[in-house]
Amino acid sequence: MFEFGIALRYLLPRRRSLSTALVSLMSVFVISLVVWLVLVFLSVTTGIEKNWLQKLTALHAPLRISPTEEYYQSYYYKIDSISSASRYTLKTIGEKAESPALDPYIAAQDAEIPDSFPLKEEIDPVKSALQELSNLGLTFQDYEISGALLRIHRSGGLVLSQMSYLLSQTEKNPSFHSLIVDSRPIVSDKIPIILPKNYQKNGVEIGDIGTLGYSSFSALSAQEQRIPVIISAFYDPGLISLGNKCIIVPSEITRMIHASSQTLSPDNTPVNGIFVWIDDLRKIEEVKQRILQQFEKANISKYWKIDTYREFEFSKDFIQQFQSDKTLFLLIASIILLVACCNIISLLTLLVNEKKKEIAILETMGASFQSIALIFGTCGAIIGILSCLIGSMLACFTLYHLDKLVQLLNALQGHNAFNPAFFGHSLPNELSITALLFVFILTPILSLTAGLVPAIKASRIRASTALRAE
């Protein structure tokens, strides 16, 4: 407490020490400015990342289980192509799960199994996988991706057509409702579908009718099939390119198209798999490992690939780049903070030169070298903590009025400073706890470190030499 009291007295501005007071105020101002900038930027970027991940994991679950090549080359999967009970068509995961029989092949009715067929295994990889997920208490559902030509009929005979990917609706998805931006109850005999919100810019409205066209192949010809549909809602797909192309449809539609022709998915995304939802994204790797362990125990791990949202084909590059940008900014912010805290060296060196006589007197009164060094080291730490408090208050004030600041930037530039397609209609304004911890840990440490050089210099002052000079 003695050292702290002396350090606090040295830092209080006095009329006789005007130069020291100005340097002290300048140091506090510079460090506070950097703290303010770091907190605002990290809080906004953390909020943006959180919003993007919420949209990504609302449309596509944070964890995806997809079949491997082993699955597609297995007897269990390929047997459907020669089975009359399966109508000689390969089945999706959902259809496999609903099938009461493990093996649809009937020797008395179906053609002989070719020699090239894989060996039969007494295991059901789909039912086993679903059972293991149920045992873990997870929320999950299978999904399918297909392709079709969407035609929307408008008044006046206008037709809007676009080739689109179809994503089966996952009723168990706990977060999908958060993406819906416009919906209305529809009473119709047509199939209700949900479109991305960018269709609204082309004049599409809820209640518009249309068709989904796809090719149905037979041995001799190919015919176009059309499914009558009606627009029931619009959803916000976020930034993900796959989401912008997806139309949400009932699962029976994707199964119908899948039975007629195979779809090549965008970005090599698996066209069939299982979505798994979890409440806390921070536990995503832990859940992945638990599922992997359960699948290994059930001897089905070779049939399944488990990916988190960080590994999705359509989002991993974007997420990695965003994380790299944040890491780069943290590095730059640390360097800027280090440079700002170097002002403390100048301040405390000036303070030591002014207080040589007082230091000598303290030494003659019995103050140790460590005590003298601690006084000036404490001065640096106090400046760092005070700057953190001032910078944090400025950051809170800025975040609270962030919308007004953005409006000002928009007015100065004559256009949106932040594109709503990427950042939404308003920027996140919640103070990041992670950024706050980063600043309140790093800044005092750097300030204390910067104060060590003058503190060591002060501790080496000899009382006899200093008093003789006076």
Q: Are residues 102 and 195 in the same domain?
A: no
Choose the final residue of a domain: 264, 294, 311. 311
Q: Select from 339, 388, 355 the least CA-distant residue to 455.
A: 355
237-295 pLDDT, tens digit per residue, is 776 544 456 889 999 898 888 877 777 766 678 889 999 999 888 899 999 999 999 99
Residue 468 banded pLDDT, cuts 50, 70, 90? very low
Task: Give the pLDDT mean for 399-422.
Answer: 75
Q: Are residues 325 and 458 in the same domain?
A: yes
CB 231 within 8 A of CB 206: yes
Choose the final residue of a domain: 311, 332, 367. 311
pTM over 0.85: no
- pLDDT score, position 467: 44
Highest mean pLDDT among 212-216, 336-340, 367-371, 423-427: 212-216
- Residue 424 above 90 pLDDT? no
Range of the domain at 302: 61-138+278-311
Residue 435 exposure: Cα atoms within 13 Å on the Cβ side:
26
Q: Are residues 203 and 166 in the same domain?
A: yes
Rounded to a whole number of angstroms, the distance between the first and last alpha carbons of the chain is 29
Instruction: Please tell me which residue, 320 or 297, carries the higher pLDDT value.
Output: 297
Q: Which of 212-221, 270-279, 325-334, 433-442 has the lowest mean pLDDT?
A: 212-221
Q: Are residues 37 and 153 in the same domain?
A: no
Q: Are residues 325 and 461 in the same domain?
A: yes
Q: Select from 304, 444, 445 the least CA-distant residue to 388.
A: 444
Which residue in the block uniquely carries the two structure tokens 């303010």?
A: 36
Q: Are residues 363 and 283 in the same domain?
A: no
Residue 210 phi/psi, 5° resolution?
A: -175, -165
Q: Select from 372, 361, 362, 420 the least CA-distant residue to 48.
A: 420
Q: Are residues 205 and 264 in the same domain?
A: yes
| Token couple for 6 | 């002396």
328-383 pLDDT, tens digit per residue, is 888 888 888 787 777 777 766 766 666 666 666 666 666 666 666 677 677 777 77
Residue 470 banded pLDDT, cuts 50, 70, 90? low
Q: Are residues 340 and 358 in the same domain?
A: yes
- Residue 187 above 90 pLDDT? no
Choose the final residue of a domain: 249, 274, 299. 274
CB 303 within 8 A of CB 71: yes
Residue 288 exposure: Cα atoms within 13 Å on the Cβ side:
19
Cβ neighbours for 1, distance < 8 A, ≥ 6 positions apart: none
Dihedral sign computed on CA atoms, order 458, 459, 464, 465: negative
- pLDDT score, position 301: 92
70-127 pLDDT, tens digit per residue, is 999 988 888 888 888 888 888 889 988 888 877 888 888 888 888 888 888 778 899 9
Q: Are residues 81 and 160 in the same domain?
A: no
| Token couple for 256 | 């119908």
Q: Are residues 351 and 449 in the same domain?
A: yes
What's the domain count of the chain?
3
Q: What is the mean pLDDT of the chain?
A: 80
Q: Are residues 251 and 335 in the same domain?
A: no
- Name the helix (H) or strand (E) containing 274: strand 272-277
Q: Are residues 304 and 341 in the same domain?
A: no
308-319 pLDDT, tens digit per residue, is 988 887 777 777
